[in-house]
Amino acid sequence: EPGEWLEYTVNVATGGMYNVTLRYASGSSTGGGPFWFEREDGTKISSDITVPFTDTNWSAYNNRVVNGVSLQAGAQVI
């Protein structure tokens, strides 16, 4: 839903560009998104991400690889 968010704490050994694999389900016939990764300070660190429809019951999951997520070294909240 618009306005929803999730927060993850990660500890990155070496800063740089990473590929992140998402596991998702979407019961919407139009798919889901856009959403993105951002730092705790609101800096966007990925492009917009969309995912296609998976199942009307939200019970079928797929993986989506997001390329080029910019992560800094050290512990951080994204």
Q: Per residue in 48-75, pLDDT tens?
A: 999 999 999 899 999 999 999 999 999 9
Check pLDDT > 80 for residue 46. Answer: yes
| Per-residue pLDDT at 2 | 80
Looking at residue 11, its amino acid is: N
- Extract long-range pairs of 35-43: CB within 8 Å, 24+ residues apart: 37/66, 37/69, 37/78, 38/78, 39/72, 39/76, 39/77, 39/78, 40/76, 40/77, 40/78
Two tokens, residue 36: 């993105």
